[in-house]
Structure 1
């Protein structure tokens, strides 16, 4: 049932709520046993800046229950040191220790593989752990980005690629949302995950989020349904619109088999529908307003240690380090992906408004 998606309400991060919701979301699409067989080495890739440790634990335990060998893998923007810090900070290291499963940095061993039919690059650099695994389970979170307006299952596949390759690819395509979408879809078409389980407990709306868990063996089907569920026009999301244009994803909810018991008030396709992004570049007036009024990352001088991590990770090179000075963010080059904020070891990057915007408040 590659066109199927399961939706189950999950009101909180309580242990029982999460465990029951994960199990219930997998049941209509064949259960974890449809993907994981006894003895299969299964890479579980969480979003270490979003996926709750209890969701990771529930998936790891489900894999173990099916007789598989779960391995938690991730490719952080800051390398192995950042991975250790994130695992500890998120509580996922406790899951690893208590469940006795293995963890790997997906940057450690990579391979350049052919990408037949790709629209961006003829060859893609992918983690060998992903290529050698018997099954791959991705755990994206429902959230928004400044580049695509929505981040979900297809966008999450950037973590298949090692840090250096990911940054290099982004530098080539991040100024063009459609081209970036094609890159992610090329990865998806070349090395699709076995299963994607999306956490939307808090999600795009924060603490008062939609409150659901979604699961599907198709990342494009999952993304279309999730975007519709939070009131977006799915086809305005670059990854979803391009997937439909390429014949790799649905163009309407009528093409999707939706299973499960959604949370109260959940009704995909109903209510106000908002466009999620622009295919074409913004006008001069929009660019000026964006530069002078829009929220953007700012450096907290009291916390900044000048370590340079933010500059190393910036996909567009918008952050420059100056000797004996704070990092300088070039507004015209910043795409507000907020990776600098997510990865700063000193929590010195904050999101704030420019002076002109504050004057109008």
Structure 2
């Protein structure tokens, strides 16, 4: 049954698949949303699902995905299972006619991501990736500032995400930490601006068998660059992003709750003049601008709550979510290109699947 959009204002029937680390957060937000009515929590460990539900007596627990997908009251599914199961679970849900929300990453590879995007588009269903950072008040404001031109034309973006982290057994530091920064980059870039290639450098100085420190440099189609530093070995935790525009520069410090955003009216201006002589020459005149710093007030709101509302909007209107399946695919394609670059000592690798539409 194709349910391309919700025809009424009735709550959308939803089921959560996965009761591990992230699933309980989804359950809590669906339960408090007026847009949804949760019917199921599905997990291979049904006792764990029952413990998560606790007092949510109207929600049933099961270990049978088929039962969930056969329930006509369920119009939408939210998947919070390990990444290597995303293709199987999400594809089954789409083929059952359900709208799908998938915890990041969208799938285990770009090839799998393409299959999910194609299936959702063929059936007219919403496919959304839970890039939670994109729905924080700070990132939503950054997106507005870049899209409405208040920062001017993007010149550079520099992101640092470092900490003394848990060294993963199955993925390197790029696949562990960089998806956050890449999803934010995809979210905030103005229309028509997109990365076209990436060069990645990394190191494993502790013998972990995979890169524990990495640097990604993305080349944009406008000539601007974006740089991402991810690191498991830093004794200090840093979560900052600097976005330089032709008009203003923005600093996002996610670990500073009292001043997450700072906007500086400071920078470099270059004026070009033409002097006529034996031949025409252009001389660059550099001047430095030193204006005020503004720290805009941001609302305190849980990002997942906003994400859930966006999922409902996409389902009801039949229009793509702000972080739709294609955004998840673009992140996967960039990570795969970065992996090829890392293996080839930082060679610049073209990024596929990143469109400017």
> TM-score with structure 2 length normalisation?
0.26
Higher relative strand content: 2
Q: Radius of gyration: which is bigger? A: 2
